[in-house]
């Protein structure tokens, strides 16, 4: 047995299947790349590149005012953005048999699956504008055009649909049948029989007389109230919903334009129209992001910063009466502003701040704020958990009262461990009142271990007695999360959420929990060059720290 995987069908094969299928099939009008994609997403198995809709979106009449190359250029966008077949409404073939030959070749080059040509005279007019006055093409000449098109296609499955306009132009069924038969003999793959009546009578009579000699295609724009069961029973092959995307777009755009004009604002319209993100999705923005990761050598992943700034900072007294600690100015600039600037300098532009105490006083631009409404009765871990939905697999979590030299963040970002923490080994010179997160590590920092893999063992908030093993440094309040590290973090938060004391837990509790769960946490040693602000004395030091240096 041959188990070779089946080749995917070409677009031309798909159109041929639609046209030749036993059941009734439907295709929808589209007039540009985005409408074509929307038609495919809705579930349609094919697209009608309508001459009316294409000319309308260009803002011109359906009288061959847009050149055929302009039409073909638009088809290229439509074809590139879809995997379903496109049947072009090719009007009269844009000239004689010779123009038709070139058209077919150009369409095949763009993977357009077929073309429908109508037996009228170039330049044509839409069938619903004074149809009776429109001259029909000479049937023999039209047959030559069909044959020329068939002879010039290189893919056997490319379809040429011959459209009979006799009923539109006021001829009778016999003329329509005579022409359809001639076109079938000339090589047409299907016949489109068009009518402008509001009832399907002419179409049904034609179908009965035609008796399935070749697949029949119809455009029920005028007889739209006819149930499709009627078409099914008449053994029609393909129904074209010919202009409903352009009409719905026009309707919505008219309403939107008036509303914005009249209200002189966007507030009334924003929720009624597609979001900008939806446009990005339809444009395939995600695929580009993936491709950048794979192919773009200087690609820098979008690192996110998550800053915890819910605390008041009780030891700062009156300074934090009206604002959280993170908004206390150092050298005239709030701590949080300094932190955000540090992030932006490292191209970290996705910055989420978890606020709590006096959240409304945070007026730092360039951040997204999440509020821990329970900040008064919960701790750091609960604040972090508020931002769980924004976690990414490439982020840095930081306290909002940190001041540090830029290189610390730069080096931390370069760490490829799932979780990394920054530990200051200059422990003696930097201990002061306030939170003390003493770090015990697999190795002490002997200042010559640049890049060596040191791991964290535990964080303790109290210094041990002098005879016990002394800590290797202080955790400065920064965690780097990468890849799998995000899941470790989320799993640990979810597990701790179940514990009774969850609301009182701090980030070191989370870190210790992960260590107890055998997660590997990498240590990045630094030696000074940072501060956190817990007291007025810290604040004074902070002023000195920032004075004259900003790197
Ligand atoms: C089109 O969609 O451009 C057509 C169908 O040709 S109709 O407008 O009904 O003639
Ligand atoms: Mg048309």
How many separate helices (H) and strands (E) can be counted in the chain? Answer: 19, 21
Cα–Cα dist 184/176, whole Å: 12
* Ligand 1 binding site (Cβ under 6 Å of any ligand atom): 50-52, 89, 126-127, 219, 221, 242-243
Instruction: Determine the distance separating the centroid of ligand 1 and the alpha carbon of 130, expressed in angstroms.
Output: 14
Atom of ligand 1 nearest to the CA of 219: 9
Instruction: Determine the distance separating the centroid of ligand 2 and the alpha carbon of 249, expressed in angstroms.
Output: 18
Helix 33-42 and helix 68-80: axis angle, to 10°?
A: 40
DSSP string, 57-114: HHTS-TTT-S-HHHHHHHHHHHHHT-SS-EEEE-TT-SSSHHHHHHHHHHHHHTT--E
The CATH architecture one would assign to domain 374-546 is: Alpha-Beta Complex (3.90)
Atom of ligand 1 nearest to the CA of 128: 10
**Nearby residues for ligand 2 (ion, Cβ within 5 Å):** 51, 89
Burial 273-287 (b: 16+ CB within 10 A, else e): eeeeeeeeebeeeee
Instruction: Determine the distance separating the centroid of ligand 1 and the alpha carbon of 62, expressed in angstroms.
Output: 9
Judge residue 505's burial from the number of C-beta atoms within 10 Å of its C-beta, 0-12 exposed, 13-18 middle, 19 or more buried: buried
Of 79, 113, 199, 100, nearest to 144 (Cα)?
Answer: 100
**Substitution site in 193, 197, 222, 242 for ligand 1 pocket (most atoms within 8 Å of beta carbon):** 242
Distances (CA, A) of 204 to 19, 175, 212: 18, 15, 12
Structure confidence at residue 450 (pLDDT) = 64
Instruction: Determine the distance separating the centroid of ligand 2 and the alpha carbon of 254, expressed in angstroms.
Output: 23
Q: The pTM is what? A: 0.68
Active site residue 62: yes
Residues in the chain, pLDDT under 50: 433, 551
Atom of ligand 1 nearest to the CA of 243: 2
Atom of ligand 1 nearest to the CA of 168: 10
Instruction: Determine the distance separating the centroid of ligand 1 and the alpha carbon of 176, expressed in angstroms.
Output: 18
Q: Which two tokens stand for residue 268?
A: 């009334």
Cα–Cα dist 139/172, whole Å: 15
Catalytic residue among 62, 91, 401, 424: 62
Asked if 430 and 424 count as a contact pair (C-beta separation under 8 A), the reply is yes
Cα–Cα dist 219/235, whole Å: 14
Radius of gyration of the chain (CA): 35
What CATH number labels 11-251?
Answer: 3.20.20.60
**Substitution site in 47, 62, 87 for ligand 1 pocket (most atoms within 8 Å of beta carbon):** 62
| Minimum CA distance residue for ligand 1 atom 2 | 50
Structure confidence at residue 433 (pLDDT) = 45
Q: Where are the domains of the chain?
A: 11-251, 266-299, 374-546
**Substitution site in 126, 130, 220 for ligand 1 pocket (most atoms within 8 Å of beta carbon):** 126
């Amino acid at each position: 047995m041959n188990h070779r995987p089946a080749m995917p069908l070409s677009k031309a094969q798909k159109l041929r299947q639609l046209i030749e299928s036993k059941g009734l099939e439907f295709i929808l009008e589209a007039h540009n790349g985005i409408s074509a994609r929307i038609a495919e997403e809705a579930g349609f198995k094919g697209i009608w590149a309508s001459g009316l809709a294409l000319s309308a979106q260009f803002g011109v009449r359906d009288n061959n005012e847009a050149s055929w190359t302009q039409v073909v250029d638009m088809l290229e966008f439509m074809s590139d953005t879809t995997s379903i077949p496109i049947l072009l409404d090719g009007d009269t073939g844009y000239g004689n048999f010779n123009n038709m030959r070139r058209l077919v070749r150009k369409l095949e080059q763009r993977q357009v699956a077929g073309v429908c040509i109508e037996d009228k005279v170039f330049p044509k007019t839409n069938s619903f504008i004074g149809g009776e006055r429109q001259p029909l093409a000479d049937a023999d000449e039209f047959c030559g055009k069909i044959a020329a098109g068939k002879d010039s296609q290189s893919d056997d499955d490319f379809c040429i649909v011959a459209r009979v306009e006799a009923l539109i132009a006021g001829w009778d069924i016999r003329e329509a049948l005579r022409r359809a038969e001639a076109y079938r003999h000339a090589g047409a793959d299907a016949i489109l029989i068009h009518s402008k009546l509001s009832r399907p009578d002419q179409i049904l009579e034609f179908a009965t007389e035609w008796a399935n000699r070749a697949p029949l295609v119809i455009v029920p724009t005028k007889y739209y109230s006819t149930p499709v069961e009627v078409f099914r029973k008449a053994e029609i092959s393909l129904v074209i919903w010919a202009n409903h995307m352009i009409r719905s777009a026009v309707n919505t755009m008219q309403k939107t334009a008036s509303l914005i004009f009249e209200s002189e604002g966007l507030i009334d319209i924003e929720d009624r129209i597609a979001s900008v993100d939806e446009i990005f999705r339809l444009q395939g923005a995600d695929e580009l992001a993936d491709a950048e990761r794979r192919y773009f050598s200087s690609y820098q992943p979008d690192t996110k910063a998550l800053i915890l700034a819910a605390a008041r900072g009780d030891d700062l007294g009156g300074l934090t009466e009206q604002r959280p600690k993170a908004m206390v100015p150092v050298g005239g600039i709030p701590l949080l502003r300094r932190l955000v600037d540090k992030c932006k300098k490292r191209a970290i532009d996705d910055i989420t701040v978890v606020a709590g105490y006096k959240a409304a006083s945070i007026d730092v631009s360039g951040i997204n704020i999440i509020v821990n409404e329970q900040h008064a009765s919960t701790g750091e871990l609960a604040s972090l958990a508020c931002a769980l939905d924004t976690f990414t697999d490439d982020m840095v979590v930081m306290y909002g009262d940190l001041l540090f030299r830029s290189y610390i963040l730069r080096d931390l970002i370069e760490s490829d461990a799932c979780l990394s923490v920054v530990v200051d080994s200059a422990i003696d010179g930097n201990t002061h009142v306030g939170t003390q997160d003493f770090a015990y590590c697999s190795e002490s920092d002997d200042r010559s271990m640049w890049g060596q893999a040191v791991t964290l063992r535990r964080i303790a908030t109290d210094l041990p007695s002098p005879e016990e093993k002394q800590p290797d440094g202080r955790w400065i309040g920064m965690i780097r999360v990468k890849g799998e590290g995000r899941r470790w973090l989320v799993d640990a938060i979810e597990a701790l959420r179940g514990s009774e004391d969850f609301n009182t837990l701090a980030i070191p509790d989370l870190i210790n929990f992960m260590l107890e769960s055998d997660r590997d946490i990498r240590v990045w040693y630094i030696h000074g060059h940072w501060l956190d602000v817990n007291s007025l004395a810290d604040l004074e030091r902070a002023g000195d720290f920032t004075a004259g240096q900003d790197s």
